[in-house]
Amino acid sequence: MKQVKVVGGGYIPGIIFNPSEKDLWYLRTDIGGAYRWDPSSKKWIPLIDFLGPEDYDQYGIASIATDPVEPNRLIIAAGMYTTDWTEGPAEMLVSEDYGETFTRVEMPFRMGGNMPGRGMGERLAIDPNDNRIVYFGSFGQGLWRSRDHGYTWERVESFPVTGNVYDADFYTYVGHKFFYGIPWVVFDPTSGELGEGSKHIYVGVIDTGPTIYESLDGGDSWHPLEGQPGKIFEGVKEHGLLSSNDPLGKYYPVKGIYSPEGALIVAYHAGCGPFNSSYEGGAIWKFSFNTRTWEDISLPPHDPDPSHRTNDRGVGAVAVDWQHPQVLVASTLNEWWPDEILYRSTDGGKTWKPIWEITEWPTRVDHYTLDYSLAPWLDWGTRKAPPEESPKLGWMITALAIDPFNSDVMMYGTGATLYRTENLTAWDRGEKVHIFVGAEGIEETAVLDLESLPEGAPLVSGMGDIGGFVHFELDKAQPMITNPYIGSVSDVDFAEHVPSIIIRMGDGTLGVSRDGGKTWKPVPRKLKGTSKNWGGSAAISADGTTIVWAPPGEEGVEIIPHWSSDYGRTWTPCEGLPPFAKVISDRVNPSRFYAYKDGVWYESTDGARSFVLVNEIDFKVDPSLITELNMRAVFGKEGHLWVAAGKRGLLRSKDGGKTWERIPGVEWARAVGFGKAASDSHYPAVYTQMKYRGGWGVWQSDDEGKTWLRVNDSSQQCGVAMCITGDRRVYGRVYMGTNGRGIVYWEFE
C-alpha cells in the first residue's frame, strides 16, 4: 500500500512522548487515527490501519498513553463521536509491542475524539509507580480506572463529579448534549514508591464548580485542590453551558502537565477549544507539590488590537523542558488574526518572550523561519498583508511538546499539520528558531471525490477543509488549487473526450480548468440562493460542452439543478429534476446525463435540458458509516452504470438505469470506480470497497463483477472509503479516498 502525498492536512490535537525511552513519540488525530514516530526514517507510522469501515468511529482518537515503566506498552482511547452517528461502542486499544498489534477492549460509553474540546488532555494516564494502574477521564461518564494495564476497567465511584458543562452550540445544531467531562489526569511520581503506586493524583474537570480535584490516598478519596485559581463570569453556575457566541462562563483547565521540578502546570482557557476565541482570556498557573502553593505564570499582554480583547491570554497548550524544568513554551488559542503566538520562558514563567512581535504597526518581527516546502499548499495560495503572514505560524495549537531527551527539539500541531524544530534553544541566544513541516508520513485528509485522468495529471482530488489537488506527482505534495479557492470540494468531474476540461464544486462554488488543472477560473455567474454548505453535485458532458450544477441551497431555499453551455455565463433550470438531485454524466454520449433523488432514477438524452423518470428504485442507504449514494458511469460503455448503495449492496445497469441487477455476494458497498482494463478484457476493471461474502476489503473485478480479487489485506483497511477509482493508464492501480487517512493506493508490482 502506498499514499498519494499531501503531507498532513488535518488537525493534530495531541502529541505524547515517552519519558523513559528516547525518540518514542506518538500523536493523535481527530479523524485519522494514531501515529508513532520512526526516528530511523524520520517519518510517522500509522498504527490503526487494520480498522475498517465498521470500525470507522475508532479513527477519532480521544487520548493516548505511553507507559513510562515498560515503554513497549501503549493504550489508545478510540472513539470519534458521543452521538449515534456511528455504530458500536468506543474502545481502548491496548498494545504490548509499541502499537504493532492491539487487543481491542470495548468500553461502556462513547468518546469524542472529533468533538468540541478534543485538543484538551491527556485523558489517559499511566501511574509511573505502578504501571498496571491507568486512569481515563471520560466525556460526562465520570473517572475510570484499570488495574491491569488497560484490559479491564471500572468506574471510580469515589470521584465526586462528572463535569456538568456542555457545549451549547453543539446542542443547538445537533440536539445532543455533549459534556466535556474530565480532560486530564496527572500523577505526582514523588508521592509513591515503584511498585506501590502514586498516592497523589490530580484530575481536571470541566465543571461550574471546582475544576481540579486531588487524591492523597491513591484514588480512594477525592477533594477539590486547595487554592485553585478560577475566574467565573456571572451566571455560569446557573447555566452550566459553554458557547462560543456568548460569555463562556469561566476559565477552564484545558491542559494539565507534570513538571520534573515537582509541580503541576495548568493551562486555562475561557473555552475548551479548538475553535473558541481567545478574546475572553485564559491563564497559566503552577502548583508546587512540596510547598502546596500556587503561582500565576500567565502569558503577558501582547495585543496588536487591544480595543476588543482582555489582557488575559487564552492558552491552548504548555510544555516543559525535562532537562531544564524552568524552561517552558506555551501557545495562544485561538488568535485567528493576525496569527497565533508561541511564548518561551527560561525562569519558570516569571517572564516570557514571544516568537514574533509588532514593533511599529504593521511591521512584524519574526524570531523564527518557517520552511513549508514539504507541504507547499500550507500558504493557501495567498500572500497576506502585514502583520498577517502566509503560511501562518499556526492555529488550533493544542498539541505542544519538548523532547525530554533533547532541549532543542520541539513539535507542535496545528489545524492543518505538524511543525518541528531542532534548534529551539537558539531562541535564548537571540537567534532565529528554524521551524519546518514535521508531518512526513501523516496523511489526514478527508477525501470526498477522486478522478483519474486518461492524460495529463494522473489524479484529481476533492477534499474537505483544504479543497483538493491536481496531483501531477503522486509522491510529492502539490500547491493548493486556487481561483477559486474552495474550502471543501465535494464533487470533481472531467470531460471524457476532452480530459483537459475539469470541473470541481463545493461550498457553493464551481471552478473550471481547461488546461488539465494547471489553471482555474470560477464560473462567471453563481446560481442565486446557493449556500456554502457541503454537498451538492456537478457533472460535465463527455464532450465538455455542457455543465450541470446541483448545488446546496440556503436555509429555506431549494435550488433545482441548472445546466450551462457557456461555462457558467448563463444557467438554465433542468426540466423535470427536483432540488438536491445527484447528477452524473454518461462517459460516452455527450447528450446523456443521469440523476437520482428519493427513490427515483432520471435520465436526460438532450444534454440535461430535460430529465424524465426512467425507474423507481429505492437506493436509500443506511445513515451509518457516513454512507451516501455512490453512483458512477463506466467509461467506454454508453448507458453502463454502477451504484454502491451501502447495506443494499452493489448494483449495475446496462441500459441507463431502466433495469438494475444486484451483484451477488455483496453485503455492503461503500464506493465503486473503474480503471484501465486488463489486456484480455473488453471491460474496465471495477473497484470497490465492500463487504463481500463476510469480509470487508478493497476488491477488483475484470469480468464485470462475476468474480472478485481482493486487493488489500487485513492490515490495510484504512477505515471507510469516501470514493474509489482505478487508474486510467496503469492497470491494477486503484486509489481509495478515505475519511481521515488521505488517499491510499495499491498496484500490481
Whether 641 and 631 have beta carbons less than 8 Å apart is answered as yes
- Cell readout for 223 is 477533594
223 vs 213: CA distance, rounded Å: 5
At 641, give phi and psi (nearest 5°).
-135, 145
Contact residues for 534 (Cβ-Cβ < 8 A; gap 6+): 464, 488, 490, 506, 507, 552
Rg (CA), the chain: 27
Q: How many CB atoms within 10 Å of residue 558?
A: 11
Sole residue written with cell 494516564: 125
> In one letter, which amino acid is 197?
G
Identified catalytic residue from 366, 465, 543, 655: 465
Question: What is the DSSP code string of 127-151?
Answer: -TT-TT-EEEE-SSS-EEEESSTTS
- Cell readout for 448 is 470526498
Residue among 623, 619, 627 nearest 721 (CA): 627
Q: How far is CA 502 from CA 261, 304, 496, 569, 578, in A?
A: 59, 43, 10, 17, 25
Whether 662 and 649 have beta carbons less than 8 Å apart is answered as yes
Quick one: the chain helix, strand, coil %, rounded to 5? Answer: 5, 35, 60
515 is catalytic: no
713 is catalytic: no
420 vs 617: CA distance, rounded Å: 53
At 379, give phi and psi (nearest 5°).
-85, 0
Identified catalytic residue from 30, 167, 188, 449: 30
Residue among 633, 577, 587, 579 nearest 609 (CA): 577
Pairing status of strand 61-66 against strand 43-46: unpaired
Q: How far is CA 218 from CA 156, 195, 263, in A?
A: 11, 13, 18
- Cell readout for 587 is 462517459
Q: How many CB atoms within 10 Å of residue 563?
A: 25
Whether 147 and 98 have beta carbons less than 8 Å apart is answered as no
Q: What b/e string do you get for 77-103 counting C-beta neighbours within 10 Å, with b at 16 or more?
A: bbbbbbeebbeeebbbbbbeebbeebe
412 vs 316: CA distance, rounded Å: 11
Q: How far is CA 63 from CA 60, 112, 136, 445, 741, in A?
A: 9, 10, 9, 20, 18
What angle is formed at CA 609 by the lines to CA 608 and CA 611, rounded to 5 degrees? 70
737 vs 462: CA distance, rounded Å: 9
Q: Tell me the catalytic residues.
A: 30, 465
